[in-house]
Structures are given as structure tokens and as C-alpha cells.
Amino acid sequence: MFETNNLDKQSCSVDSAISRYLDEIPECGLEFENIRVEESLNRILYEDVIIKMDQPAFDKALIDGYAVKSSDIFHASESKPIKLQIIEETGIEKGEKISIASNQAVKISKGEFLPENADSIISEDCVVREKENISVVRSICPGVNIAKKGEDLLGGEVFIKKNRKIRPQDIGGIIGIGYRQVKVFKKPVITIIPTGNELVSIDAEPKVNQIISSNGYVLKGFVEQLGGTAVISSIVKDDLGQVKSAISKALDVSNLVLVSGGCSSGSKDYTLKAVKELENSRIIANEVDMRPGSHILLAFVGNKPVIGLPGHPVSSMTSFHVFGKPVLKKLTGTPRSLLQDRKDTIKLDAFLAKKISSPEGKEDYIRVRLIEDKNGKISAYPYTGQSSFLSTLVKSHGIVKIPAECTGLYQGDRVEVFLF
């Protein structure tokens, strides 16, 4: 259920929750910056890259050889070679072209200007040179071994469309057409707020009843993999005022706030209450039909998204994978397209090594470890441990999603694994 006005948990499907949430994230607020092209790997283009001038900028040779008129040597053969006069050589560094007449040729190097009236380049292994003449022993067709002006790129056309995640070959191409800077979306700043009385910093020696705060660093890694800038705040105790203040301060400097912990219905879970008390807040969902990670908060304060994640490591990571990842992709300027999704979300097929039961009515996410046998068959071994077991995250390679209407999978079933 959406837009709930009370603090009771209201459950909804995963698909409806994420669809509504993504639809309400504004795109107009995304900012850009100009950076050097060579530093733009994996950044998202803010605007189309336009070709400045034709490429090639002139008709040029693709090989070393002799520029000729193909009609002059149409009947050339080893038994009946055709003699051509060699005139002065051209040089690309001169920025000028010369012209050839009938039965003439010009010695030319790869990349140089094609002389006027020449329409092809014949390679040196097809000629016999005799001082200022060559004897051509093979015919050639027009257009062979030359690149015409604008054949690769036409000035004024779009070279790369906006919203592309820049690849290494894109960097070379953008530099090659004359750009030294490129306009990209600014990296969104994501503040991660760890909450809980039991948490201690990574520099502290935990007591028996304490836990080292590690979820934030897992989330930080995922955020940075997806093109965001992550900031982990100080640990916030289970106190309504402190949680509310931490979220409010984070909103001032962030594009997205992730609150780790405090999203359940316990007496010390204050994330939902804190968001509700913030001005201009609205709740999209505060529980979803999934396992693990049903206790999730999807909210806005003003126009900024706030996501409350469960505190248990497995639930936290699963919830981020399902909800945080698509939100962050939208904030980085990446369109939700089929091709981009397939590049950003790596999947592979495997065969389930053990039967899995699943609760009906809940979308189930099972951690699996992948093992390949000597014949290339990949088997997925499920981990069904508790959501607080950090070890299962480290040992697993990905997750298998079981739809809400399915009550389980059998050994040997072919499954799709979403790799971490």
C-alpha cells in the first residue's frame, strides 16, 4: 500500500514498490560537470557528442603504394604490364594536393592526401619500378585502398548519444574527433547512516554484545561500483531525535540517503518514525513482499529519496540490490534500457545443486555459490542461512530470485544467477 499515513507496516509487491518509487524520482535535478576526456571512463554522458568535422577530413590512402587512375590500368596483367610515369610524391604534412594526368602515378604513403584525379591505390607488390616509371602487372577497381572524405564520420552528426556510460573505446573516439573535455553527469552523493546501539566503529574492539559496523562499507562499495560517491556518517544510536537529525543533515549534502537498520517494528526501530516527522516527507512503501529484506522503507523528503535498509547484512545487501541499485542508476543519469541493464547486471545460467523451498506470496532471494565442473557445467549451491550470517555473503557469488507465486525449485532446475 502506498502513501500510508500511519506507522503500521503496509506490505506491497516488489514490482509495484520499485516501479512507483522510480517514477517519482525527478530527472530534472541531475547536474553536470565538464571533465577531461581521458578521465571520463564509466561516467555518464550528459549530452550528445557531436562530430565537429568530416572524418576522414580528405580522401586519403589506406596503404603504402601508388595513387593511380584505375581506368589507366584496367587491362594490366603480368603478360601485358602497363607502364605509368611517376610524378612528384605528395606529403600529408604539406596540407596540399597535386593532380595526376592519364598514365601517371604518385608514390604515396598510408594516411596521405589522395591526388586529384586518382581513384585508387595499387600496392607495391603489383608493380615493377624502373627509375621514373612503374610497370603495373595487375588491374584494380575504382575506390580500392582509399578512404573517401566523410566516409567514417560526417560533421554535424551525433557521434555518441547522451546517457551512454563511457567505455575505453569511446574515450579514444571522442579524443579522435577533437574533444579535450566532455560534459558528464555529476556523481550523485549518497550518505550512508549506520544505526544501532550495538554497533561500534571499525577502529574499536567490540565487546561480547557489540558488532563492528560493516554494512556501511558493503554499501559504499556497491555505490562506488555504480558510479556514485559514498559518504559513511558516524554511527547513530537508537534514538528518535538522533536518527531524525542525522537524516536531516545528510539530506542537505546528498542526492540519496541510505539508513542502515531501524526499519523493523521493534521498540527501538526509529527510521520510519524519524522520516515521518521530517517536513515534506512522504512514504512510498514501508514493507514489501520479499525475503530476506521485507522491512524496507522507500520514502522522499522533499524531492530527495531516502531508503531505509534492514540491519542484518544479508537483508541489507539484498534490499540494496533490489531497490537501491536501480535508484542509484537513475541518479547517475543511466537510462533504464534493456542493453544498459544487461551490461550493468551480469547474469549467467546454472543448474541448481539442491532443492529449495520458498514461501508463497513472497519474492525470495537465495544466495548461491557457483562451481564449474571439468565439462563446463556450472552448478549453483544455495545458502539458506540466517540473514545475519555475514559469511554467506562472502562465500556466495550471486543470488537466484524465486517469484512470489512459486513455492520452490528442484535439484537440477536451470536457474538465472544475478552476480554480485
Is residue 387 one of the residues assigned to a domain? yes
CATH of the domain at 363: 2.40.340.10
Q: How many structural domains comprise the chain?
A: 4
SS (H, E, C) the chain: CCCCCCCCCCEECHHHHHHHHHHHCCCCCCCEEEEEHHHCCCCEECCCEECCCCECCCCEECCCEEEECHHHHCCCCCCCCEEEEEECCCCHHHCCCCECCCCEEEEECCCCECCECCCEEEEHHHEEEECCEEEECCCCCCCCCEECCCCCECCCCEEECCCCECCHHHHHHHHHCCCCEEEEECCCEEEEEEECCCEECCCCCCCCCCEECCHHHHHHHHHHHCCCEEEECCCECCCHHHHHHHHHHHHHHCCEEEEECCCCCCCCCCHHHHHHHCCCEEEEECEECEECCCCCEEEEECCEEEEEECCCHHHHHHHHHHHHHHHHHHHCCCCCCHHHHHHHCCEEEEEECCCEECCCCCEEEEEEEEEECCCCCEEEEEECCCCCCHHHHHHCCEEEEECCCCCEECCCCEEEEEEC
pTM of the predicted model as reported, rounded to 2 decimal places:
0.81
Is residue 155 one of the residues assigned to a domain? no
392 has a pLDDT exceeding 90: no
Is residue 4 one of the residues assigned to a domain? no
Is residue 337 one of the residues assigned to a domain? no
Residues 176 and 105 in one domain: no
What's the pLDDT score for residue 94? 60
Is residue 3 one of the residues assigned to a domain? no
Residues 311 and 224 in one domain: yes
Is residue 5 one of the residues assigned to a domain? no
Q: Quick one: pLDDT band at residue 245, thresholds 50, 70, 90?
A: very high
Residues 133 and 170 in one domain: no
Residues 234 and 284 in one domain: yes
Q: Which domain holds residue 39?
A: 34-55+165-185
Residues 38 and 179 in one domain: yes
93 has a pLDDT exceeding 60: no
Q: Quick one: pLDDT band at residue 1, thresholds 50, 70, 90?
A: very low
Residues 409 and 297 in one domain: no
Which of 86, 119, 147 is the C-terminal boundary of a domain? 147
Residues 46 and 84 in one domain: no
278 has a pLDDT exceeding 80: yes
Residues 309 and 403 in one domain: no
What's the pLDDT score for residue 4? 42
**What pLDDT, in 10s, does the model give residues 105-147?**
999 999 888 999 999 999 999 999 988 999 999 999 999 999 9
Residues 77 and 219 in one domain: no
What's the pLDDT score for residue 2? 38
CATH of the domain at 103: 2.170.190.11
The rounded mean pLDDT for the chain is 90
Q: Quick one: pLDDT band at residue 95, thresholds 50, 70, 90?
A: low
Is residue 2 one of the residues assigned to a domain? no
**What pLDDT, in 10s, does the model give residues 196-237?**
999 999 999 999 999 999 999 999 999 999 999 999 999 999
Residues 235 and 198 in one domain: yes
Is residue 330 one of the residues assigned to a domain? no
What's the pLDDT score for residue 90? 56
Which of 147, 174, 201 is the C-terminal boundary of a domain? 147
Q: Quick one: pLDDT band at residue 45, thresholds 50, 70, 90?
A: very high
Return the minimum-mean-pLDDT range out of 88-102, 119-133, 364-378: 88-102
Q: Quick one: pLDDT band at residue 5, thresholds 50, 70, 90?
A: very low
Q: Quick one: pLDDT band at residue 10, thresholds 50, 70, 90?
A: low
- The mean pLDDT value for 393-401 works out to 92
26 has a pLDDT exceeding 90: no
